[in-house]
Structure 1
């Protein structure tokens, strides 16, 4: 296919604007697919396609990232696969050079970033339980397997920052960048909105908790009387993965699991089963199977007490009091969300739904349909009365929605889309500086690309 100059310019603008939004998620979600050996039903026969010093790029890394990009619906350039491979090789080179130059990231930063991305991923999948059910792994195992990849990506970002720390963009450069695109070929952006929520999850009554504890005590007695722990877990545990794992969590390092769960497990002798106890996830009994230094092997059965209508009514009353404070200007919506909301995915952003790049202005097509149809009946600046709804995990909750801003569908323009254009131009300049760095650095470490990808001319 032959592209005209105008078409190529439009493709370049759309690619630059979308790339700065997608590229950070591209590696993360590609890592998720690679970690668990699947992208939908696609099966990739793996092999090493690039070696960079002591680091490698697998064929699955490339294929998973490529398919994730295509599934995002973004316009893709004809040489997309080569661009992704170039990005993967560049990332490994950045990591290799970071090791040489002693550039490191702190564990606390890795954990914080991983948790933020996981919360976004969970919001897209629906719930932690759905992730566990789909992959047959606990959320803790899921988190641990992604941690090294997240650490690598943070090192890449830190090296990129060091390399491009002097790069900046002026308003004049943004204006020139925008005006370089023919006016009849500017990209079209759908309606965008800024919507926030404050969520309260009804707390379970003590009576319901005691019922779960009694039920677990009965199960514990059956196991002590000779029944198999794994069989009981498969039948009764409300952890989705238990139906396959029998509640077995494998070896875990200290500091990964819920603190109350870990304390209960590590307080046992090998083979012992705890009395029922409560964690942030539900009511458990846990058996310690083995312990090796900082690692311990355990299995558990969890029951999740159900809320009653009385619990929901109490939460509605509590939420109505919070809403009254906001309406009377006694507290801002953002502060109330940070202080009172039980939804981790939005409370840290002042209650607002965020796009993958962290912006609180998002396309309506990316909103949950229930939220979209609700704000469609609202006026700007209004806040709903408490609404009951089902969370993606099926649990009932109460929330208020705040409709702050709306931006009509439009062609790209400097007034409405300055930030998108600014980041696109900034990313373009940074890419140029990093490409120049790559040309210099590639001679300092060993790099070998599989001949299957010679046409990409990455090393040229």
Structure 2
């Protein structure tokens, strides 16, 4: 299998940051092996050390699931070093151009990475032991790497940020794309849904609230919030961490939760907060630079078989209405579905995740198989226009729901083309143009800037003329 050779500046910066260096230094310490460091390259006044390259290659293996003892090809080692040289050059030029790095944003990222390290290893003391330095020095290492990453990204954005192409240029440039530059698009599906939630029970909701109030009272009397979260919270992601959600921006959270969180002082515990996810109690741990670190315990309503059966039967009845052509799927979805997003779109399901990932200008209704999750098992054997039977599943918030789906279209596997995959093609062409602009800029800067590369790295076959 061909190895994945995508190795971005962001990924590279991460491997040079605390988390990755912690991983690989820990492994080195376990084996009692130590590497004598030396300078292998200089870009401007910035050095690349042998240990930096070792760490970068280790992360590349980790990221691509390559066995630790396997040797990388010369092509792979060349690519890794060239990315490192590029990041150093971009950061150096950013400093020359006096580009600013927001220290508030930097400090926030340092806090996030420290929290991740502490979570990974269990305590600050263990992190310090693994890194062989006190936490303030670990944070200083993080700061340097994050600043360099931010500067490099800002400089790159300044160089290629204004690159645009017209529809006419797109058509012309698509014809020039090589066959291996055009991706193979896997099979995709579009579908519609009618969602019914099991009828809520006021007595059950009140019982959940009373359970949370009891837990709150126990914590106020001395019980451990983290222990209760591990035992009882329905948020499996944070429960294993004692309910710890790490540092979060209030804007990233639903309004009811964030409003309650920001009103707390450290060590304070909220009253019961109800959101679309369920009911919570929240303990504020810390606040730094407009980011909040909190723990929470989430309890969701548990539905009885009778409640779920009622929702399934209602969907079965709606299915019969559609089959008998007494009403259309679109109209039924708009009138009866409990899912606000698809309801307002006549039941049509839109792929918000793909929109965010690809930066699409308009929403898409196409889903790859792995994006369909549990819906795929009810969809794959349908013909276009057919409906499934009603079934139970979970929504993106983790709530138990019942749904009925209809297969609207199948898009077979194919080579990307401008008619069916316009946004993907535009993305490919723009990125190709940006790469050309960046390479032209790099060629000029490489000529102007002091760059030295030691052997044997100097003889690598770089894309750009780094070894002058």
- Fold match (TM-score > 0.5): yes
1:304 corresponding residue in structure 2 = 300
Partners of 1:29 and 1:68 within 8 A in 2: no
Query: What is the CA-CA distance between 1:384 and the residue it aligns to?
Result: 4.6
User: Does 2:236 align with 1:237?
Assistant: no
Partners of 1:103 and 1:159 within 8 A in 2: no
Q: Aligned partners of 1:316, 1:54: CA distance in 2, in Å?
A: 71
Q: Aligned partners of 1:379, 1:44: CA distance in 2, in Å?
A: 52
> Does the residue aligned with 1:275 lie in a helix, a strand or coil?
coil
1:194 corresponding residue in structure 2 = 189
Partners of 2:160 and 2:437 within 8 A in 1: no
| RMSD between superposed Cα atoms in Å | 5.9
Query: What is the CA-CA distance between 1:158 and the residue it aligns to?
Result: 3.1
Partners of 2:271 and 2:281 within 8 A in 1: yes
User: Does 2:170 align with 1:175?
Assistant: no
Structure 1 regions of 5+ residues with no counterpart?
A: 1-13, 107-130, 138-144
Partners of 1:66 and 1:84 within 8 A in 2: no
Partners of 1:202 and 1:307 within 8 A in 2: no
Partners of 2:351 and 2:366 within 8 A in 1: no
Q: 1:91 to 1:304 in 2, by over 3 A?
A: farther
> Does the residue aligned with 1:301 lie in a helix, a strand or coil?
strand
Q: 1:306 to 1:148 in 2, by over 3 A?
A: farther
Q: How many residues align?
A: 393
> Scaled by the length of structure 1, what TM-score is found?
0.58
Q: 1:352 to 1:266 in 2, by over 3 A?
A: closer
User: Does 2:374 align with 1:378?
Assistant: no
Q: Aligned partners of 1:448, 1:269: CA distance in 2, in Å?
A: 53
Give matches, 1:287-326, under 5 Å.
Answer: 287-288=283-284, 294=290, 298-309=294-305, 310=307, 313-314=310-311, 317=314, 326=329
Q: 1:211 aligns with which of 207, 213, 217?
A: 207
Q: 1:157 to 1:450 in 2, by over 3 A?
A: same
1:389 corresponding residue in structure 2 = 393
- More deviation in 162-171 or 412-421? 412-421
Q: 1:429 to 1:399 in 2, by over 3 A?
A: same
- More deviation in 232-241 or 322-331? 322-331
Q: Aligned partners of 1:444, 1:35: CA distance in 2, in Å?
A: 32
Q: 1:453 to 1:170 in 2, by over 3 A?
A: same
Partners of 1:229 and 1:246 within 8 A in 2: yes
Partners of 1:198 and 1:341 within 8 A in 2: no
Query: What is the CA-CA distance between 1:442 and the residue it aligns to?
Result: 3.4
Query: What is the CA-CA distance between 1:419 and the residue it aligns to?
Result: 7.5
1:125 corresponding residue in structure 2 = none
- More deviation in 223-232 or 386-395? 386-395
Query: What is the CA-CA distance between 1:447 and the residue it aligns to?
Result: 5.8
Q: Aligned partners of 1:365, 1:29: CA distance in 2, in Å?
A: 30
Q: Aligned partners of 1:30, 1:382: CA distance in 2, in Å?
A: 49
Q: Aligned partners of 1:252, 1:418: CA distance in 2, in Å?
A: 35
1:161 corresponding residue in structure 2 = 160
Partners of 2:197 and 2:402 within 8 A in 1: yes
2:445 corresponding residue in structure 1 = 441
- More deviation in 383-392 or 300-309? 383-392
Q: Could you list the per-position Cα deviations for residues 355-408 of structure 1 after superposition, in whole angstroms to 9, with x for gaps in the alignment? A: 954685979664557544544333335555654324688753334545444344
Q: Aligned partners of 1:236, 1:378: CA distance in 2, in Å?
A: 39
Q: Aligned partners of 1:426, 1:169: CA distance in 2, in Å?
A: 10
2:280 corresponding residue in structure 1 = 284
Q: Aligned partners of 1:196, 1:440: CA distance in 2, in Å?
A: 51
- More deviation in 434-443 or 399-408? 399-408
Q: Could you list the per-position Cα deviations for residues 193-215 of structure 1 after superposition, in whole angstroms to 9, with x for gaps in the alignment? A: 23245574837544332212111
Q: Aligned partners of 1:312, 1:245: CA distance in 2, in Å?
A: 35
Q: Could you list the per-position Cα deviations for residues 317-361 of structure 1 after superposition, in whole angstroms to 9, with x for gaps in the alignment? A: 589599966545997xxxx9845489xxx96x4679679546859
> Scaled by the length of structure 2, what TM-score is found?
0.57
Q: 1:285 to 1:441 in 2, by over 3 A?
A: same
Structure 2 regions of 5+ residues with no counterpart?
A: 29-34, 67-71, 103-115, 123-142
2:217 corresponding residue in structure 1 = 221
CA radius of gyration, larger in: 2
